Amino acid sequence: MKTWKLRLAILLGILAALYLAVCVRVLVLQENIVIDPTPTLEGAPAISMSQMFEEVEEVFIPVGSGREQGELHAGWVPAADANAPTFLYLHGKTHNNSTHPEHAQRLHQLGYHVLMVDYRGFGRSRGGGKPSEPKLYEDAEAAWNYLTQERGIEPQHIFIYGHSLGGAIAVELATHHPDAAGLVTESAFTSVPAMARWNCWSRYLPTGWLVRLRFNSLERVRTLKVPVMFIHGKLDVKIPFEMAKELYDASPEPKKQLLIEGAGHANSGAIGWVEYKNRVTAFVREHFNRAE
């Protein structure tokens, strides 16, 4: 009997140690888990982007100050029509300009100017130390300022577009720019704590204590002053499409929702191209120049 109890105590001790180790990992490494910067390039970015676009201009945007100072690597893809709307495209947690330009390519195919931007720590963007939630917001703001100040584009001509983690960044940016033409998110989540509760391996952790990162889009969308459209694939296994419904329900009018049958996390525009094209085009036509 004593041997059995000893073995049970050892087993419980090992399980407790493993549980504690997982908690410590989430506490210490959550920026890497949630943000997961990807500096690796698949060839030279200019070559990679030029394979997707007939014309693309590489630009470097200064951001931050002091020890946090750095520069963002971005690609400016002009539309055939100089008077077309502009999309500021903010990618997800593991992408960079050299690896996943297809989202921006679809927007360009619809006839829009596109600025693709990498956050600090991603691709050829440099400086600022380790990426963090505030720094990602700062990077998006720097990209916005580049469009409005360096390129002289009127805010009411700019749509903010974010995919996955970029959706949370796009929502935060839009709350500071009610004069923007509109906001579009694709495969966005409601908040990091909500994702932790939904995820199969983290739902049993004390996430309320462990999770420092918020990216609380559900709270922020309630204060939006711009038209918004939420796009989500109904077969998304990384972020449940129900979160798009939550974001939609919490947002004020004007708002649109597009749930695409058969689409996953990163292929809504590809799987549902006709519906995607028609709905995004209609949204842009409705709200372009809305402030004029």
**Residue 39: per-residue pLDDT:** 66
pLDDT band at 98 (very low <50, low <70, confident <90, very high): low
pLDDT band at 291 (very low <50, low <70, confident <90, very high): very low
At residue 205's C-alpha, the angle toward residues 200 and 206, to 5°, is 140
Entry pTM: 0.88
Per domain, the residue ranges of the chain are 1-33, 44-287
| Mean pLDDT of the region 134-149 | 97
Q: Looking at the domain covering 44-287, what would its CATH class be? A: alpha beta
| Mean pLDDT of the region 194-218 | 72
**Residue 43: per-residue pLDDT:** 44
**Residue 64: per-residue pLDDT:** 85
Joined together, the tokens standing for residue 50 give 């030029």
Residues contacting 7, CB < 8 A, separation 6+: none
For residues 35 and 131, is the Cβ–Cβ distance under 8 A? yes
Residue 278 three-state SS:
helix
Residue 285 three-state SS:
helix
**Residue 96: per-residue pLDDT:** 77
- Given a cut of 90, whether residue 90 has pLDDT beyond it is yes
CA distance 9 to 132: 40
Of all residues in the chain, the percent with pLDDT exceeding 90 is 59
**Residue 45: per-residue pLDDT:** 47
For residues 97 and 73, is the Cβ–Cβ distance under 8 A? yes
Of all residues in the chain, the percent with pLDDT exceeding 70 is 78
What are the Cα distances from residue 12, in Å, to 22, 108, 206?
Answer: 15, 57, 19
CA distance 187 to 242: 10
**Residue 49: per-residue pLDDT:** 60
- Given a cut of 50, whether residue 47 has pLDDT beyond it is no
Share the mean pLDDT of the chain.
85
**Residue 210: per-residue pLDDT:** 63
Q: Comparing 35 with 38, which gets the higher pLDDT?
A: 35
